[in-house]
Homo-oligomer: A and B are copies of this chain.
C-alpha cells in the first residue's frame, strides 16, 4: 500500500498515458496503439487520441517505455581519449546520422586503463570482490543496459568493454580495425584510392624514382596500407621503389622536419615529390623546405594526408588526401542501427574511400584552398 506518490517532477505531474486515455475517453491500450501502431485503430479514434495528446502535451515516459520494449534508441560510442579534429568530425557524422534515424548518442571516452575507475562487480571477475568490500554495483562506465548498441572507436581493443558487450549480446560495430567475429560489423577507411590518386598526381610531374613516402609509425595500420599502395602505384607505372623511398617515423611535425633534414644534407630535397603519412608530417617537410629556401611546389612537391584544417590554412596550402571521418561516423551509426533491426545478418565491412584534394603545395595553379 505504497502511497500514491504524486511526486511531480517539480510541482506538477507530467501527463501520463492514463491522462490521455481519460481525456480521449478510450483505454490506455488504445492510446498506446495510436502512438505505436496506428493502423490498428480506427481513424476517428486515432484522431481523438491525437488531439488529447497534443492538448496535454503528452510525452511517453522513456523509462517505462524502455522497461517494456527493452529499447532506448540510444547508442553508445566508445571514443579514444584523444583530442583533435578526427574525434569531433567523427562524432558530428555519427550524431547527424543518429538524429536522422531517431536515435541519440551517448559518448564514452575510454577511461585510462590505470586511472581511477573504481572497480565494480561488473568489471571484476566473478568472486573477486573481497568480503566486506564496500564497492558494489554501480552502472558500468558505458551505461550498458541503457544503450541499444555500441560503436567502438578505440584503436586498441579494450578487453573489458568488449567482453561486457558480448556478454550482454549488445550489437557492436568497430571502427578502423577488422575483427573477424560473426556478428560484428566493421567500418574502415579505404586508403587505397586516395593514396593511388596522390601518387599518380605526383607522378604526373615527376619521375617515379623521385617520389618519397614519409609515413607515421611502421606499426600503424593506416601507414602500412598507404605505403603499400604507394609502392604498388609506382610499380604500376613501371618503377620499382627503392627502399629509401619509404620512411617511417611518427605522426608529428618534427619527424617530417627531421626526415627532410637528412635529405637536405644529401642535397636531395630538391626536385622530388613527397607523400606524407599525415598533414603534420607534410608540414614538417614544408617547414624544412622553407628554411632551406626551397620553393614549394616548384622545387619540391608535397602532399599531406587527412586533409585537416591545417592543410588549407598553411601557406602554401597543402595538398592532402581527404579522409571522410564524418562519413565514417555516420556509417558506423547507420550500420549499427541496421544490425539492431536485423541481429542475425552476416557481418558487413564498410570501406569508405579517400580522395585527393589538390592545393598549392603540389600544384602551382591550384586554388589557395580558399583560406
Which residues of A are in contact with B by a Cβ distance under 8 Å? 7, 9-11, 14, 34-35, 38, 43, 47, 50-51, 53-55, 57-64, 66-67, 70, 72-74, 81, 83-85, 87-89, 91-92, 95-96, 99-100, 102, 104-109, 111, 116, 121-122, 124, 126-129, 131-133, 136-146, 167-169, 252-254, 257, 280, 283-284, 287, 290, 309-310, 313-315, 343, 371
A121 vs B131: C-alpha distance when bound (angstroms):
53
* B254 pairs with A371, CB closer than 8 A: yes
Of B66, B127, B140, B315, which is within 8 A of A59 by CB?
B140
A121 vs B102: C-alpha distance when bound (angstroms):
15
Of B47, B63, B146, which is within 8 A of A67 by CB?
B63
Total copies of this chain within the assembly? 2
A6 to chain B, nearest CB (A): 13
Chain B residues lying within 8 Å of A127, measured Cβ to Cβ, are 54-55
With A66-B63, A127-B55: A309-B84 Cβ-Cβ less than 8 Å: yes
Chain B residues lying within 8 Å of A62, measured Cβ to Cβ, are 66, 139, 143, 145-146
- Chain B residue nearest to A111 in the complex (CB): B99
With A67-B64, A107-B105: A59-B137 Cβ-Cβ less than 8 Å: yes
Chain B residues lying within 8 Å of A102, measured Cβ to Cβ, are 138-139
Chain B residues lying within 8 Å of A61, measured Cβ to Cβ, are 67, 145
Chain B residues lying within 8 Å of A145, measured Cβ to Cβ, are 59, 61-62
* A129 pairs with B313, CB closer than 8 A: no
Chain B residues lying within 8 Å of A66, measured Cβ to Cβ, are 62-63, 66
* B59 pairs with A131, CB closer than 8 A: no
A128 vs B54: C-alpha distance when bound (angstroms):
8
Chain B residues lying within 8 Å of A63, measured Cβ to Cβ, are 63-64, 66-67, 70, 72, 146
* B315 pairs with A146, CB closer than 8 A: no
Chain B residues lying within 8 Å of A287, measured Cβ to Cβ, are 315, 371
A91 vs B109: C-alpha distance when bound (angstroms):
10
A179 vs B169: C-alpha distance when bound (angstroms):
45
- Chain B residue nearest to A109 in the complex (CB): B95
Given contacts A74-B146, A290-B315, 7 further A-B contacts (CB under 8 A): A50-B133, A57-B167, A63-B146, A74-B143, A91-B107, A104-B108, A280-B313
Chain B residues lying within 8 Å of A107, measured Cβ to Cβ, are 91, 95, 105-107
A111 vs B99: C-alpha distance when bound (angstroms):
9
Chain B residues lying within 8 Å of A73, measured Cβ to Cβ, are 139
